[in-house]
Amino acid sequence: MTRLSIAVLAATAGFGLALTAAAIPAAAQETEAPVNQVIVYGDQECPASTEQQIVVCVRQEDPYRIPKTLRQSDDKENVAWSERVAANRDVGDTGVGSCNTVGPAGQTGCTLEAIQQAYAEKANSSDVQMGKLVAEARAARLAEIDEEARATQERVESIEADYETRRKAEEAAAGEVDPEPLPNPTGN
């Protein structure tokens, strides 16, 4: 019996020492400077920390928008009514073109439904849409070609105008008779 009481007394004393040791860091924490958590937006400056206070800043994008981390949720309450109605649109469909095993030829609508779903996913996909990228590249190329064609056309018209001016000057000069003949190059 005495052994048991000695063990209980030792355990109690050890527990008390552990509580005292755990309380020491808490007392040390109370003397540390308080922390001020500040949210800044855009180009705002973060206030400087002082010896009495630690300032921690978190930069947000826009003060009037819900943060990106909180915008998306899979919660049922966040689903639009139009999507809820669309989810229940096919309830009770049976027969031809219904993609249902109930009724005659019910399975005939499954292929059509799969095709329509694939096209809808393709049209609304956030992935890279090659058709749009190709169309944009073609438009950019055509704009570049049009600019080159315009510049070339201006150059050609300028050259033609210069040629026409020279031709008219030559015709006018051919109509005039020089009073003096040109010197003979052979020296005769």
Closest CA to 96 of 86, 108, 85, 88: 108
63 in a structural domain: yes
**Residues 140 and 160 placed together within one structural domain of the fold:** yes
- Tell me: pLDDT of 130 over 80: no
**Residues 141 and 171 placed together within one structural domain of the fold:** yes
76 in a structural domain: no
**Residues 148 and 118 placed together within one structural domain of the fold:** no
**Residues 133 and 168 placed together within one structural domain of the fold:** yes
> Which residue do the tokens 């924490």 mark?
29
> Which residue do the tokens 């049976």 mark?
94
More reliable by pLDDT, 161 or 173 = 161
Q: Show which of 20, 51, 67 is a domain's final residue.
A: 67
Q: Show which of 50, 67, 84 is a domain's final residue.
A: 67
139 in a structural domain: yes
pLDDT classification of 128: cutoffs 50, 70, 90: low
Domain containing residue 162? 128-175
Token pair of 116 as six digits: 């329509």
pLDDT above 70: percentage of residues in the chain: 73
**Residues 98 and 108 placed together within one structural domain of the fold:** yes
122 in a structural domain: yes
21 in a structural domain: no
What pLDDT sits at residue 157? 95
- In terms of residues, how long is the chain? 188
What pLDDT sits at residue 153? 94
In sequence order, what E strands does 61-161 have?
none
List C-alpha distances in Å: 39 to 42, 48, 67, 166: 10, 13, 12, 75
- 64 CB-near residues (< 8 Å, 6+ apart): none
Instruction: Please give the tally of structural domains in the chain.
Output: 3
More reliable by pLDDT, 159 or 60 = 159
145 in a structural domain: yes
**Residues 116 and 135 placed together within one structural domain of the fold:** no
79 in a structural domain: no
> Which residue do the tokens 């056309």 mark?
153
What pLDDT sits at residue 17? 47
**Residues 110 and 133 placed together within one structural domain of the fold:** no
Q: Show which of 19, 51, 67 is a domain's final residue.
A: 67
146 in a structural domain: yes
62-89 pLDDT, tens digit each: 777 777 777 777 788 878 888 888 878 7
